[in-house]
Structure 1
Amino acid sequence: MAVSVSRAMSKGIVMTVPVLDELRPLQIAVSRLNPLSRHHYHHHSPFDLLPNCASSDSVSPADSVYTLEMCMTGLAREKASVFFKEQTGSAAEMTVNSGIRKILPNSEICDFDFEPCGYPMNSVEGPVVSTIHITPEDGFSYASFENAGYDLKAMNLNEMVMRVLVCFQPTEFSVVVHVDNASKSFEKGWFAFVCVSYIPF
């Protein structure tokens, strides 16, 4: 990447999106989800270049890999306070005291705590991988959660979304599900299923 491009991208999302739009091949599809809100999710997809990744009604949902992404802002102060070292002694304690362990009860978790605050973790549960990153400072608190690889016959992702929301209690959040290869009918139903039934705190 050229120095001028990397400098532009370091100035934040306002500069980054136009730079990415200019660099991308014309065949790559771009979607801006949630156009009615001031919060946007820009999705750059190469699926037009990869015919075998296109949606097909002949593909079984069970054969697809789902990636769940959640972005949360305005974390509840009590919840965010756990991720300050002065409040909690170690990353392992943060994992338990925050409720993150309840989100992923059967995962092997590798966690870390920053000085004076902040928390990242990665976890593995068989073929499933998950990651969480937290910036807890009041006024611009943020948490992200992402996982991929669960068998939907054994895991209800809607319930997982609710566990994440209970853990952080954000004032605003977004949920996006990426499907590597799913039937069109199942894909539409899944997006509705994930986003329904949220009750604000």
Structure 2
Amino acid sequence: MMSEQVASSDHQTYYTPVDANPDQQVSLIGFEGPEKLIEIWFKPPKERLDELNEIDDEGNTKGLGLRTVEKEVWDDMLTIVRAQILSITSNQYQDAYLLSESSMFVSPYRFMIKTCGTTTLLNAVPKILEIAKQYCGLETISAFFYSRKCFMFPDRQERPHGSWNDEVDFLEKIFSECSYNTSAYVVGKLNRDHWNLYMATPYDEEFLKYTNSIADLPQEIFEEKIEEKIETIINKEEKNTNKFDKDGISEDDFTLEILMSGLDQKHMKNFWRTEEEKREVMEIEERGDIYVKGPTEERVYEQTGLKSIFPQAQMDHYVFNPCGYSSNALLGKHYYSVHVTPEDICSYASFECNLPLGNPLNQYNSYNELINKVLNIFNPKQFVITLFTRKPEGTLGQIRDLIPQNIKGYQKTDKIIYDLNKWDLAFCQFTKNDIILERIKKSENEQLLEKKMMENLVQNTENMKIAN
């Protein structure tokens, strides 16, 4: 296997106060850590697709597709979202934008943005599509995804994020049913943490025409023909040695998310600025100087154990004042991001990674090993895992083997697997054993209290009868 290099990066920092966006400030009533996430794959022109497939590990994609869009254009789009760019890190494959509210990653034909707080991410979708068309000539979407964990404080969200139904209605107006096959899911238990997913992919016109051409055949023969056609498509994809399919989607497309809440406050103390670091920020602001990232970010990176996840990554990170942490890390053609809200009242952390197992830059033998590494840093009371993997590399049988079956100290309370056309999705929810035992004890105590109250009521009734 050819070694994938972690190239030296370009890095640019832009002035912004070290505090988070004032509209997103943490308060005594808590900050909304769970992010809204958009991922869009655009279909490249045929000649560009061939060029992409021919680029080797030493190649460069800086002059292709979305990577040609200037920062000022993205700045304009982000005003709609209510976020701003803190810094940019680049390598030969992609650009990573660290935002005041999370992250944005831009590859030639793939765009990903995630934002937390009360940002209005979906309002920017029309603008993103306009930018792709106007500046890059990209008019065809190969796949669109919008996802988020259930909000901690849903009542504070602004339109169209007030409810999942509102978000779906908003997206349905953009991705007309006559052009796209759209689907909206609520994955997991409604009375516990759950995960929402909306996806839109173009209809396969060739396949639709084929099914129409055999529609008059008897049902049994029709089904046999369809199975043969699907088998032919699968065999063709399995023999494909290109890095991207005909729609420009990476053949090893994969995303792992670990969404954690109820973080261990002993572990969280390192995500707060020290008193000395706070004074330093105040002095910089009083002088009107530019805050330069450095010692504080490196301290957090080292002391928390984050550096040990992928030590070779190109790291860009930021520590907010007085607390909070965001990071983008480039791993060649892949990336990972970490975002932390450490306050006890609303503690939350997310880890997202799209580096598949077997990649030379991935030192882990299993996702279970990587997941445990992350959990040891945050020690959450509960967490959700989503694993999104591309077929044919990730068949339903394989994805069952990829997701963790048991994690020490936790009880798996939910597990769901979806077959989503080109992709498979696995969702798991875990809760600390201690938390479940506390719930059981609380329930038992409530039952004992209810029983005692009922006994007292009966006794009082008997006493009243005797008195009368």
TM-score (norm 1): 0.81
C-alpha displacement of 1:161: 1.1
CA contact (8 A) 2:258 2:384 kept: yes
Local SS of the residue matching 1:29: strand
Q: Which residue of 2 aligns with 1:70?
A: 258
Structure 1 match to 2:163: 16
Question: Would the aligned equivalents of 2:340 and 2:348 in 1 still touch at CA under 8 Å?
Answer: yes
1:75 deviation in Å? 0.7
Are 1:45 and 2:254 counterparts? no
Per the alignment, residue 392 of structure 2 pairs with 183
Does structure 2 retain, via aligned residues, the 8 Å contact 1:72–1:173? yes
Segments of 5+ residues of structure 1 without an aligned counterpart are none
Deviation at 1:186, TM superposition (A): 2.4
SS of the counterpart of 1:195?
A: coil
Cα displacement (A) at 1:64: 2.1
Please state whether the residue corresponding to 2:263 is helix, strand or coil.
coil
Separation of aligned partners in 2, 1:142 and 1:12: 23
Partner of 1:123: 329
CA distance in 1, matches of 2:374, 2:276: 20
2:309 paired with 1:103: yes
Query: How far does residue 71 in structure 1 lie from its aligned partner after superposition?
Result: 0.7
What is the one-letter code of the residue matched to 1:128? H
| Whole-angstrom CA distance in 2 between matches of 1:105 and 1:19 | 41
Residue 195 of structure 1 and its aligned partner are, at CA, apart by 3.1
* Matched residue, 1:162: 372
Aligned: 1:33 with 2:180:
no
On the 8 A contact 1:81/1:87 being kept in 2, the answer is: no
1:85 aligns with 2:277: no
CA contact (8 A) 2:160 2:167 kept: no
Q: What is the DSSP-based 3-state SS (H/G/I as helix, E as strand, rest coil) of the residue aligned with 2:344?
A: coil
Aligned equivalents of 1:46 and 1:137: distance in 2? 36
Pick closer, same or farther for the CA change 1:66–1:51 going to 2, 3 Å. Answer: farther
Contact 2:259 2:351 in 1 (8 A): yes
Give the conservation status (yes or no) of the 8 Å contact 1:66–1:149. Answer: yes
Match of 1:141 in 2: 347
Change (3 A) 1:28 1:142: same
**Distance in 2 between residues matched to 1:87 and 1:199, nearest whole Å:** 36
- 5+ residue gaps, structure 2, are 1-79, 81-119, 124-154, 206-229, 244-250, 278-295, 410-431, 433-468
What amino acid is the match of 2:379? Q
Question: Deviation at 1:143?
Answer: 0.2
Check the 8 A contact 1:57/1:185 in 2, yes or no: no
CA deviations on 1:86-128 (whole Å, 9 max, x unpaired) are 2795111101111111111221111110000000000012112
CA distance in 1, matches of 2:397, 2:191: 21
Amino acid at match of 1:157: Y
Deviation readout 1:116-172 (Å, 9 max, x if unpaired): 000000001211211110000012110001111335355432211111111111011
Match in the other structure for 2:100? none
How many pairs are equivalent? Answer: 193
Structure 2 CA distance for aligned equivalents of residues 109 and 95 of structure 1: 9
CA contact 1:9–1:16 (8 Å) conserved in 2: no
| Match status 1:173 vs 2:383 | yes
Q: Which amino acid aligns with 2:183?
A: A
Query: 1:11 deviation in Å?
Result: 3.6
- Choose between structure 1 and 2 for higher RCO, CA contacts under 8 A separated by at least 6 residues: 1
Q: Distance in 1 between matches of 2:269 and 2:190?
A: 32
CA distance in 1, matches of 2:159, 2:192: 16
Measure the CA separation in 2 of the matches of 1:98 and 1:24.
39
Contact residue 252 and residue 356 of structure 2 kept, 8 A: no
Question: Distance between the aligned counterparts of 2:372 and 2:159, measured in 1?
Answer: 30
* Aligned residues of 1:177 and 1:191 also touching (Cα < 8 A): no
What's the counterpart of residue 412 of structure 2? none
| 8 A contact 2:340–2:349 mirrored in 1 | yes
Amino acid corresponding to residue 193 of structure 1 in structure 2 = L
Larger radius of gyration: 2
